[in-house]
């Protein structure tokens, strides 16, 4: 006779309607059980990050990344950008402490147990201040087939002040339908929008208003972490005091034997998926897109047409005659840290963001 956790393998354990029966079979510790119950019921769980070296790691990370931002974080007048873009993506490539936090064995073991598939980190984001980001679901940015095999872990790298723009979330919203382009009446695969979640924000606002659920804020202590489900609405609250920092690290996780893609730029009913090229932070190796153990490849027509659209869009951005890659890296150290080609970054993002490219 099959056990409950074997009946619906295409659903994460913590998202399954058979959750109550499943947790009785998993032999979880009391702490693991509480995390699983909180994720199932509320869509998030709070833990003390399980790393004896976490304070030393945080100190080193803050020291290294502060120099990359090249701004006076205590002086809002000196900030060149808002909190949403004041970040370093995938610093794990060059910073072993960032990588160690994302690759923490106890976190990976916990997620593997309560989701039912082996977890692996695929992205890190480091922030010195609050993002003030609109409430959103990560399922627009990172999704999987089967659905919901993705989660995030947000680590507080200092005590969070109420006026610093704390992380905010809507408990229980992870149980809502995962929004798609089909639901909001748009095509995603051929879109040229650079801001993935903007088309969905009206729907999220309407759902929040209809639900009557009030957002909660996470006034975390240094070293606390919040694990959240893929579809939980979350964001950054208003930063009432712009002089305050809110250092944090976000690590995003996928799970084995899935197809990984970006729904905001996909049309699932037509089979047009914007597949993601995933690298495992732990092994530093590429992870294949799989469906029931077999490789997934987009159709030649779809992949070629998408590639052509992207390349044509990039080529239309004129590179300044005096553009110099080394100077661009020097003036934009976050780009240098990301490892992205300077010319490609300027064409895709730098010009529209007003990035400096000459002294």
Tell me, yes or no, whether 52 and 163 share the same domain: yes
Q: Which of 248, 270, 299 is the last residue of a domain?
A: 299
- 94 falls within a domain: yes
Tell me, yes or no, whether 84 and 198 share the same domain: yes
Tell me, yes or no, whether 91 and 150 share the same domain: yes
Tell me, yes or no, whether 328 and 224 share the same domain: no
Tell me, yes or no, whether 339 and 191 share the same domain: no
Omega before residue 294 within 30° of 0, cis: no
- 3 falls within a domain: no
Low pLDDT (below 70) residues in the chain:
70-85, 192-194, 298-317
Residue 254: strand, helix, or coil: strand
CA atoms within 13 A on the CB side of 214: 2
Tell me, yes or no, whether 56 and 129 share the same domain: yes
Tell me, yes or no, whether 96 and 143 share the same domain: yes
User: In terms of residue numbers, what domain contains 335?
Assistant: 317-359
- 219 falls within a domain: yes
Tell me, yes or no, whether 344 and 267 share the same domain: no
- 2 falls within a domain: no
The structure's pTM equals 0.81
- 10 falls within a domain: no
- 41 falls within a domain: yes
pLDDT at 116: 97
Q: Could you tell me if residue 222 is left (phi over 0), alpha (psi between -120 and 50 degrees) or otherwise beta?
A: beta
- 223 falls within a domain: yes
Tell me, yes or no, whether 230 and 191 share the same domain: yes
Closest CA to 192 of 67, 37, 313: 313
The CATH number of whichever domain residue 222 belongs to comes to 2.60.120.620
Q: How many structural domains are present in the chain?
A: 2
Tell me, yes or no, whether 140 and 237 share the same domain: yes
Tell me, yes or no, whether 237 and 340 share the same domain: no
C-beta pairs of 295-302 under 8 Å, 24+ apart in sequence: 296/259, 298/272, 298/273, 299/271, 302/189, 302/271, 302/272
pLDDT at 301: 45
- 25 falls within a domain: no
Q: Which of 268, 299, 330 is the last residue of a domain?
A: 299
Read off the DSSP letter of residue 312. Answer: H
Q: Do 123 and 251 touch, CB atoms closer than 8 A? A: yes
Tell me, yes or no, whether 202 and 336 share the same domain: no
Closest CA to 224 of 155, 301, 276, 326: 155
């Amino acid at each position: 006779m099959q056990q409950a956790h074997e009946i619906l393998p295409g659903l994460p354990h913590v998202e399954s309607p058979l959750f109550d029966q499943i947790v009785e079979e998993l032999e979880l510790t009391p702490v693991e059980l509480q995390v699983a119950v909180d994720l199932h019921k509320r869509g998030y769980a709070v833990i003390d990050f399980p790393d004896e070296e976490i304070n030393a790691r945080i100190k080193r990370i803050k020291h290294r990344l502060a120099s990359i931002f090249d701004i006076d974080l205590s002086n809002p007048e000196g900030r060149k950008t808002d909190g949403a873009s004041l970040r370093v993506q995938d610093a794990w490539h060059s910073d072993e402490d960032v990588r160690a936090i994302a690759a923490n064995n106890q976190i990976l073991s916990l997620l593997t147990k309560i989701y039912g598939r082996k977890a692996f980190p695929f992205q890190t984001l480091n922030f010195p201040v609050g993002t003030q980001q609109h409430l959103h679901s990560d399922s627009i940015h990172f999704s999987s087939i089967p659905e919901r095999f993705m989660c995030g872990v947000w680590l507080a790298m200092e005590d969070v002040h109420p006026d610093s723009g704390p992380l905010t979330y809507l408990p229980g919203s992870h149980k809502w339908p995962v929004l798609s382009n089909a639901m909001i009446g748009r095509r995603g695969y051929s879109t040229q929008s650079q801001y993935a979640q903007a088309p969905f924000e009206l729907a999220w606002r309407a759902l929040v208003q209809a639900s009557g659920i009030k957002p909660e804020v996470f006034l975390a202590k240094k070293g606390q972490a919040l694990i959240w489900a893929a579809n939980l609405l979350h964001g950054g609250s208003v930063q009432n005091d712009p002089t305050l920092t809110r250092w944090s690290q976000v690590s995003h996780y996928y799970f084995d034997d899935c197809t990984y893609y970006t729904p905001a730029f996909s049309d699932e009913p037509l089979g047009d998926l914007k597949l993601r090229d995933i690298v495992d932070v732990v092994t530093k190796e590429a992870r294949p897109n799989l469906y029931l153990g077999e490789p997934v490849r987009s159709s030649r027509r779809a992949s070629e047409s998408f590639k052509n659209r992207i390349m044509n869009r990039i080529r239309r951005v004129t590179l300044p005659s005096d553009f110099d890659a080394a100077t661009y890296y020097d003036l934009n150290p976050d780009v240098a840290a990301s490892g992205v080609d300077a010319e490609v970054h300027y064409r895709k993002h730098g010009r529209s963001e007003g990035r400096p490219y000459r002294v």
